[in-house]
Amino acid sequence: MALILHATKGNKNAYKALIAAEYVGVQVELVPDFQMGVSNKTPEFLKMNPIGKVPVLETPEGPVFESNAIARYVARSNGDKTLFGSSLIDHANVDQWIDFSSFEIDTNIMKLYLPRLGYAPYLPPVEEASLTSLKRAFEALNTHLATNTYLVGHSVTLADIITTCNLYYGFAKLLVKSFTSEFPHVERYFWTLINQPNFRKVFGQVTQTDAMPPLPSAKKPAQPKESKPKTKDEPKKAAKPVVEKPKEEEAEEEAPKPKPKNPLDLLPPSKMILDEWKRLYSNTKTNFREVAIKGFWDMYDPEGYSLWFCDYKYNDENTVSFVTLNKVGGFLQRMDLARKYAFGKMLVIGSEPPFKVKGLWLFRGQEIPKFVMEECYDMELYEWTKVDISDEAQKERASQMIEDFEPFEGEALLDAKCFK
Ligand SMILES: N[C@@H](CCC(=O)N[C@@H](CS)C(=O)NCC(=O)O)C(=O)O
């Protein structure tokens, strides 16, 4: 009789058991019409797994949850032990790699992937830390696989099945070739295993992603309103006395309130028209120094605007080029709220990691606008220094940043991004 697996068809955690079943010749069937968010909320399902997560395996002896435990059950269920190696130390090493790929690889891949699906908040320090941990895990795996075809012994074990499933979202959804090519033995291992007939039956054809999914909209996720369940002891609010209001007062209350003006709109007018500068910047294709840079300083109004250098505080963590570029791209997206009042240049500097991120920003007013500091959380990841334009060296540095001058401070530019 087939064992019944509760999960959706594309669940990579369920694949662990399905692949193990192919190797040991056990029948495991996915429950038909499983609907995530519906089927796993039913009282019957919650009896099998009290936290309602999938996969769950129904066995003649009772249910099992947690995908690694399910895969172990399936792998042992016909009495065959080959998926666990042939000695005590093999068994321990199989467990070791199962845990390693679950905690060091899967956890970090999911921390990088879920914010991009909108299932978790995007927090740059979490992304940095997950990426550093993932790189460390890949390095360790790469070293082991430099002299081993499989994780344990000389044939596929459950460690390979689980590790390949844990690497799957990495290769298929998140990690582009420029990341994985630093770990050639991991690449070889993943592609060899995923194309083994027993894996192929479950995964079908897998290809590597050529782009990291973009981060969801620049806007901060709306905070759900807390709806506190009322407790019996909570005193009831006194019923509001009904006072009839004069009609005009009602109308006033109902009319949409005019949006409060941005304080920057109340500043004395400036001779510098930001859009004019942005147009000049965009339309200058040749003689940039003579036309655009000269035009900038001619237009610049030090009373109506201020210039700021910014310096990323955690450059040591910029170890992966595309992640650094994504981070800067995300920052510029989130600055959208300041488009009317700002112009910026962000340079990603260096030809080798760790990359330095530095920028120049022009803001309306003498300070960095308060609403930008409050609403764009990237701001606090940078050190901000006001440009002293009476200092020719600082002025030249600002010009070079606007111009994408290379080499910048002696180094090549990996990229230069403009906010306009
Ligand atoms: N450690 C668990 C993870 C299970 C898990 O996170 N399942 C997700 C789908 S892949 C789920 O059921 N999420 C629904 C929820 O969190 O309510 C395992 O390996 O089985």
Q: Kindly report, residue by residue over 169-209, the tens digit of the pLDDT.
A: 999 999 999 899 999 999 999 999 999 999 999 999 999 99
**Residue 219, pLDDT score:** 40
Higher pLDDT, 135 or 247: 135
How much is the pTM? 0.60
Domain segments of the chain as ranges: 3-203, 266-419
Q: Confidence class of residue 391 from pLDDT cuts 50, 70 and 90?
A: very high
For range 70-82, the mean pLDDT: 93
Report which ligand 1 atom has the smallest distance to the Cα of 70: 20
Q: What is the pLDDT of residue 148?
A: 95
For residue 57, how far is the Cα from the chain centroid?
31
pLDDT at 48 over 60: yes
266-419 matches 3-203 in CATH topology = no
- Going by alpha carbons, the residue nearest to atom 15 of ligand 1 is 53
37-46, 333-342, 358-367: the lowest-pLDDT one:
333-342
Ligand 1, residue 51: give the atom nearest the CA. 17
In CATH, what number does 3-203 get?
Answer: 1.20.1050.130
Distance 53 CA to ligand 1 centre (A): 4
Pocket-testing residue among 8, 13, 53, ligand 1, by greatest number of atoms within 8 A of Cβ: 53
The amino acid that residue 46 corresponds to is L
Domain 266-419 indexed as CATH 3.30.70.1010: yes
Protein residue whose Cα sits closest to atom 17 of ligand 1: 53
CA of 395 to the centre of ligand 1 (A): 55
